[in-house]
Every structure is written in C-alpha cells, then in structure tokens.
Amino acid sequence: MKTTHTSNTQPLNDRARRLLRALVESYVREGQPVGSRTLARTAGLDLSPASIRNVMSDLEEMGLVSSPHTSAGRVPTAQGYRLFVDSLLEIKPLDSQEVRTLKERLNPELDTKSLVESASDLLSAVTQMAGMVRVPRRDHAALVQIEFLKLSGRQVLAILVMNKNEVQNRILQLDREYSHSELQQMANYLNEHLAGLDLRQAREQVLREMKAVREHMNTMMLAAIQLGEQAFSDQEQDDQVVFTGQIHLLDYAELSSVEKLRSLFEAFTEKRDLLTLLDTCISAQGVQIFIGQESGHKVLDDCSVVTAPYNVGGQVVGVLGVIGPTRMAYERIIPVVDITAKLLGAALNSRN
Amino acid sequence: MKTTHTSNTQPLNDRARRLLRALVESYVREGQPVGSRTLARTAGLDLSPASIRNVMSDLEEMGLVSSPHTSAGRVPTAQGYRLFVDSLLEIKPLDSQEVRTLKERLNPELDTKSLVESASDLLSAVTQMAGMVRVPRRDHAALVQIEFLKLSGRQVLAILVMNKNEVQNRILQLDREYSHSELQQMANYLNEHLAGLDLRQAREQVLREMKAVREHMNTMMLAAIQLGEQAFSDQEQDDQVVFTGQIHLLDYAELSSVEKLRSLFEAFTEKRDLLTLLDTCISAQGVQIFIGQESGHKVLDDCSVVTAPYNVGGQVVGVLGVIGPTRMAYERIIPVVDITAKLLGAALNSRN
DNA sequence: CTTGGCACTCATCAGGGCAGAGTGCCAGGA
DNA sequence: TCCTGGCACTCTGCCCTGATGAGTGCCAAG
C-alpha cells in the first residue's frame, strides 16, 4: 500500500484528484456515502472498482475521506472539502439570465435597510440555505445636510440626512437650553463646513476645529461645534446583522438532529459568534470559505460558511454570505455569493 | 374568551369535571397519554381505575378526550382543552415578585420599536414558547412637531416628531420645487394648526380645511395643506409584527416532526396567516385563547395561541401573545400574557 | 353504583435471519 | 509494476417474531 504511494508530502496524482473530485460531487448531490462501484461508473476513468478501492484507501490514509462504518462508501472529510474547493473546484459562472434576475431584485431605490434585507432574502432564496448580511458601516456615507429640531427644554433632535435613501435621527441631551434661532444658526454653520464629508471625517473635522481655533471662535461657533460633536458621536450599532432563511436548514438531514438545530438557531438569535466570524472576513478580499470547524465556532461544526465582502466607494463596508451544511454545492454557491456582494455594493454606490 | 361549548347535552357532573381537569393537568405536565390507573392515584377522588374507565368512556363519547390507540391512556381533544380553559382552569395570579421583574424589563425609556421587541423577548423567555407582538398602530400618537427639509429639487424630507421616543421620516415627491423659506412657512402653518392631533386626526383636519375654505386660502396655505396631506398619507406598514423565541418550539416533541416545524417556521417568516389571526383579536377584550384548529389556520393545528390586546390612551393599539403546543400550561401562560399586555400599554402610555 | 377480574388490543423492544452494499486482500494477468 | 476479478468478511437495513407491559372494555358480584 504505502510503497507505491506518492505519500502525504506529494501532491495528489491526477487520478486521485479526479476521483476525489467525483466523490465530492457525487456526495454533494446524493448526500450518501459513495462506494467504489459508483465512482467507477461516474468518474469517467475506466477503472475497475477494485482499483478505485486502492486509491480510496490512500485518500483515507491522507485524511481526505473517511467511511462512516466498515462497509459503507466514503465521505469527504473537512480536509477533503478544503482540498476540493481549493484546487479541484471548477466554478461555473452564473449565466447572464441569472445575474439579471439577481440584479432586478436588488432595487437601488430602496432604503439601506430594505436593500440589505433583500440581499439576505435573495441569498437564502437562491441557495436554499440561510443568508446573512452584515449591514454596511455607516461611516462612509456622505453627509448631505444636518438639521436640529428642538423637542423640549434641553432635548434636541438631530437629523442627519445622508442621501436620499437614508436619514438618521439622534436625540441629544444638551447642557443648556437653546433657542430655535440659535439651533438654526448652528445647523447653518455645520452644513457649510461639513457637507459632503462622511460621518467619521465630520467627527474628525469637528474635533480639529475645536482644538485648533478655539480661541478665535465666537461662542456661537463653539456651541455649534459641540453640538455637532454630539450629533456625530459614534453610537455604533455593532450588532447589526440580518439573517434570513434559517428555515431552509431544516431540510438538511445532516443538521436535523434537534440538538444541532437548536444550537444553530440559538446562534442566529445570539448573533455573537456569527458576528465575530463575519468580522474576520470583513478585511479579506473576495470570497472566503469556512468548512466545518475551521470557523472556530463549535456551533458550526457541521456547517460551511461562504462569505464575500462588499464595497461602497472603493471601501469594504460589510460582508454577506450563506450558512449551510458542509455538503453544499460550492461551485454554485460561491459565484452566487460573489455576485450578490458585487451587486449590493453597486446598488449602495449608485445612490451617493 | 371564545365561545363556550357546553358540549353535548348534559353539563358534566362534578366527578367528570374533576377527572377531566386532572387528566389535562397531568397530560400538560407529562406529555403522555394518561391511563385510568394514574388518574385514580392523582385525582384525589378515591375511585378505582375501573370506575374511572367508565367515566373516561363517557368523556370520549362527548369528544372531550381520545385515545391515540386501543390501549394507550387518554389525551384531551381540542374540545377538551376548550372546556378546560373555559370552566375548569384556575388561573394562578403571578406573584408580585414576578410582576416586578417583568416591569423592570419593559423600560419605558426605550423607543417604541425596542420596547415592542423587549415585550416579545420577555414573553418568549418567560413562557419558553414563541412570542409575538403586533406593533402599535401609530395613528394614535399625538403629533408634536412637523418639519420639512429640502433634499434636492422636488424631493422633500418630512420629519414627524411624535414624542420624544418616536420620530418618523417620510420622503415626499412634490409636483413643483419649493424654496427653503416656503417650506419653513408651511411647516409653521401646519405646526400651528395640527400640533397635538394624532396622525389620523391631522389627516382629517387637513382634508376638511382643503374642502371647506379652499377659496379663502392664499396659495401658500393651500400648498401647505397639500404638503401636509402627503406627509400624513397613510403609508400603512401592515406587516408589522415582531416574533421572537421560535427556537423554543424545537423543544416540544409534539411539534418536532420536521414537516410541522417547517410549516410553522414558514408561517413566522410569511407572517400573513398569523397577522390575520392577530387582527381578529385586536378588537376583543382581554385574553383570547385559540386551541388547535380554532384559529382556522392549518399551520396551527397542533398549536394554541394565547393573545391579549394592549391599550394606549384608552384605545386598543396592538395585540401580543404567544404560540406554543396545545399542551401548554394555560394557568401560567394566561396571566403572563395578560400582565405583559398591561405593562406594555402602560410603558407606551407613560411617554405621551 | 362501584369494584375486581378477565380477556383482549396495541406499542415497544430485543433477537434472528436475510439481502444488499461495500470493503480488504490476494493471486493471476498484461 | 500496475490492473483486475474473485472471494471472504462486515456492516446496515429490513422484516418477522415473540415477549412484555400498559391500558382498555365488559361482566358479574358486592
């Protein structure tokens, strides 16, 4: 067995690669351990089952496949899937018809929240798995206008208009009372100085002005700056993820032990684990794939996660992806996630 | 509560009632068909199993209990549950400690959306079932202030300040361009005339003014009214329900056939069926209970739904409740739903 | 009206037998 | 040296069986 074997150190020979690929594909399709006979028929290699058994035995030794019990077929291990997606997988580009459908369903007219929800719905509908989208960081959005509305006494409502699809309201508690006209003047001042900047820049600009020219400013300007600082303060909503389509996970037999489903659904409501996972992807380029335990979260042991970041204005502002059983049709899922990320980015971009 | 079926002809005699009650209680607790022997031990009636069998046979004939198969114990039917909740059930009031905990977790400081979500979370956490809240109709909220912000060309952002915890933004497409000062004037006019009214009233008031005094109005007033009409237009968000805690449903064996769970979860994402159910409750007083098929929705055949409407300013504005298996601890669930509805109403009230 | 006794039904479980799928190993052939 | 057919072996899944136990319905006696 071993002597012949271009052992662990060697990259797999062509035959082994083709067989592994056929095996993964068949298992993904059928969901059942695949035996040497089936492989002999489907792999298109014109080999007898016996020879295939030998190769299988090698693959098993390398930890790429395993048999659930003595006399069942073989099943890919996480490592096997890894090798498969890394070097055996041929990704089929989506046909233009599909792309068009996706595009239509991501209507840039919608406000950001609805857009993000559509994206998640889309992912879960197309892939029949659970979709998720990390909502875009807001910092990037350019400030179009800021207004203040006096509510009562020291309470002021700040209205930040980011663009025609997004408006934020923030309620400020002030240290003294301001008159309507004072508020109006301060808004004018801020609009003049900050329009076009994004929130982060605006915050920085405000701080800079405060430091640099404090002495030269009149009290009105100073007050305006202070008010602006409050309005732009970083009320991060860090838990912002949208999940949809968890139902689909009920369909996969390998996840159907009630225990597993429970913890998976708990993960969706808790969000924390998945958030950290998503956040590790946010800096990466392109599609990322976590297979089984690779994600480092126990809950996802039997799942794979496929993610892709999306950009607005050339900057990564969020991630989206799907969660499903390790046994998923990667060659189809990967381009879907990829394209959806690009389309979401484009839709968000088109409105600035 | 729903129509009482004083079933067949005779009202049940005391013994039968006590036995039915014991049976339901035992079945709710244990989740297994209960036999004559167990009843003899637990019902505290000092009867032999044989006598109890006779009574059971009567109850079965009346359609209040049934046996899953020839030789299993008896299980309450939907009709049996109905009779149980209508006339046998003793509701335990929550102890004040529990009420206090509930109260603390419904913090009136929160904005409406968070408050509603807390309520749903609370329901699902306390009952270990799925919670749901129909978000309050907004109409009732008194308008504190309205402002217009010009976005671009004919686009105007209308800001409706309802109270310190709720602000609504609506983007209006106008038929001609208005200058900043025009918008300002119109806002002033509307604020003067409409402050303190709720949205529905404001809408009516606007329409009335338009009709009645059209000829007397100057163009500015007319424009203001038209603008107001757009701003108050009834963009009902009819799909506004919050569901939480669906995971809990995974725990109930009677729902655990994947098929049932699927359709149940689908109902949660689809929302439509549940919405119509909730809407039928919105006009009713007090706690309502739907057992099994009574709801008229196939999905809920094995579920019971317990709901209660909640009030703001003396008017019913929404409903909340829980969904769980028919076999639920009604004597506990009912007061929880009841109290939560009252607390949510109070929390919403406290801010006007 | 109540009760104990008895026969009956049904679900559940463990065990045995059998077919099918698949493997490992081996020896013979190219 | 590699490929292949053959063979024994192992495991699963299925069906049938019989035993057990829980619970019922009915009846006749108290």
**Mean predicted confidence (pLDDT) in A55-81:** 91
B171 vs A contacts (CB less than 8 Å): 164
The share of chain A scoring above pLDDT 90, in percent, equals 38
User: What are the angstrom distances between the C-alpha of B213 and each of B23, B197, B205, B216, B225?
Assistant: 70, 20, 12, 5, 11
Confidence check: pLDDT of A3 > 80:
no
With CA of A51 and C1' of each nucleotide, the nearest comes out as: D3
First to last CA, chain A: 64
How far, in Å, CA of A11 to CA of B318, rounded? 65
State the amino acid at position B82 in one-letter form.
R
Please give the average per-residue pLDDT across B62-83, as a whole number: 90
Mean pLDDT for A325-344 is: 95
Domains and their CATH numbers in chain B: 9-88 (1.10.10.10), 96-135+240-349 (3.30.450.40), 139-231 (3.30.390.10)
Q: Rounded mean pLDDT of A223-250?
A: 79
User: Residues of A with CB below 8 A from B144's CB?
Assistant: 151
- The H-or-E segment that residue A85 falls in is none
Residue B250 and residue A269: Cβ atoms within 8 Å? no
Higher pLDDT, B203 or A135: A135
What's the average model confidence in pLDDT over A319-333? 95
> What is the pLDDT at residue A8?
42
- Length of chain A equals 352
Q: Are B308 and B287 in contact (CB under 8 A)?
A: yes
The band of B57, judged by pLDDT with boundaries at 50, 70 and 90, is very high
Give every CB contact of residue A305 below 8 A, 6+ residues apart in sequence.
Answer: A277, A289, A290, A295, A321, A322, A323
The closest nt to A35, taking CA to C1', is C22
* CB pairs A-B closer than 8 Å: 61
In this structure, is the dihedral angle defined by the CA atoms of residues A41, A45, A47 and A49, taken in order, positive or negative? negative
Averaged pLDDT for residues B263-280: 89
Whole-number Å distance, CA A348 to C1' D28?
86
Q: Measured between alpha carbons, how far is B49 from B55 in angstroms, rounded to an integer?
A: 10
- Give dist(CA A167, CA A172) in Å, integer: 16
pLDDT reading at A118 higher than 60: yes
Residue B196, pLDDT score: 81
pLDDT at B319 (0 to 100): 95
The verdict on a CB contact (< 8 Å) between B261 and A250 is yes
For A25, B100, B157, B258, the CA distances from A348, given in Å and listed in that order, are 36, 45, 20, 38
User: With 90 as the cut, is the pLDDT of residue A83 above it?
Assistant: yes
Closest CA to B6 of B49, B63, B54, B52: B63
- Is the CB of A2 within 7 Å of strand D? no
Is 70 exceeded by the pLDDT of residue B7?
no
- Whose CA is closest to A23, among A68, A81, A87, A91? A81
Report pLDDT for A6: 34
Query: Which pLDDT band, with edges at 50, 70 and 90, does B78 fall under?
Result: very high
What pLDDT shows up at residue B300?
Answer: 87
Are B259 and B278 spatial neighbours (Cβ–Cβ below 8 Å)? no
* Distance between B181 CA and the closest CA of chain A, angstroms: 13
Flag if B265 and A256 touch (Cβ within 8 Å). Answer: no
pLDDT of residue A9: 40
- Taking the C-alpha atoms of residue A96 and residue A80, their distance in angstroms, rounded to an integer, is 31
Tell me how close the Cα of A232 comes to any Cα of chain B, in angstroms.
18
- What confidence tier does B213 reach under pLDDT thresholds 50, 70, 90? low
Please indicate whether, in this complex, the C-beta atoms of B159 and A149 are within 8 angstroms of each other: yes
Residue A4 scores a pLDDT above 50: no
Higher confidence at residue A333 or residue A295?
Answer: A333
Is residue A11 scored above 70 in pLDDT? no
Which residues of chain B are within 8 Å of residue A171 when distances are taken between CB atoms? 164
Name the average pLDDT for chain B: 85
Model confidence band, residue A243 (pLDDT cutoffs 50, 70, 90): very high
pLDDT score of B6? 38
Q: Bigger pLDDT: A237 or A41?
A: A41
The whole-number pLDDT of residue B2 equals: 39
With CB atoms and an 8 Å threshold, state whether B144 touches A159.
Answer: no
Please report the beta strands in B100-219, taking only residues with DSSP state E, as ranges in sequence order.
130-134, 145-152, 155-163, 166-173
Instruction: Indicate the range of A127-141, A209-223, B21-35, B56-70 predicted with least confidence.
Output: A209-223
Residue bearing tokens 């799925």: B130
Q: In Å, what is the CA distance from A278 to each residue of A147, A264, A347, B19, B285? A: 34, 16, 21, 56, 46
Per-residue pLDDT averaged across B332-347, rounded?
A: 95
pLDDT interval class at A147 (50, 70, 90): confident
Q: Is the dihedral of CA B186, B188, B189, B190 positive or negative?
A: positive
* Digit-coded pLDDT (tens) for B148-175: 888 877 888 888 888 767 788 888 888 8
For residue B234, pLDDT over 70 is answered with: no
Is the model's pLDDT at B65 over the cut of 80? yes
Place of tokens 């106008």: B174
B244, B251, B269: residue with CB nearest A247 = B269
Task: For residues A336 and A126, give the distance between their C-alpha atoms in angstroms, rounded to a whole number.
Answer: 8
From CA A192, how far away is CA B138, in angstroms rounded?
36
Query: Distance from A309 to chain B by nearest Cα, in Å?
Result: 26
User: Is the pLDDT reported for residue B10 higher than 60?
Assistant: no
pLDDT above 70: percentage of residues in chain A: 91
Quote the CA–CA distance of B166 and B172 in Å, as a whole number.
19
Structure token digits, residue B28 = 């709710």
> Can you give the pLDDT at residue B207?
78
Residues B316, B309 contacting (CB under 8 angstroms): yes
pLDDT band for position B1 (cuts 50, 70, 90)? very low
Point out the least confidently predicted range of A213-222, A266-275, B37-46, B338-347: A213-222
Question: Closest-CA residue in chain A for B173?
Answer: A164
pLDDT at A235 (0 to 100) = 61
pLDDT tens readout for residues B12-22: 788 899 999 99
pLDDT, chain A, mean: 85
What's the average model confidence in pLDDT over A6-15?
A: 59
Contacts of B332 (CB under 8 A, 6+ apart): B92, B127
**What percent of chain B stands above pLDDT 90?**
37
> What torsion do the CA atoms of B126, B322, B298, A248 make, to the nearest 10 degrees?
-60
CA distance A139 to A234: 9
pLDDT confidence of A5, banded at 50, 70, 90? very low
Nucleotides of D under 7 A from a protein CB: 1-6, 9-12, 21-27
* A174-195 residue pLDDT tens: 888 888 888 888 888 888 888 7
**Facing A250 at nearest CB: one of B151, B159, B265:** B265
CA-based nearest residue to A334, from A302, A290, A297, A273: A290
Q: How far apart are CA A120 and CA A245, in angstroms?
A: 8
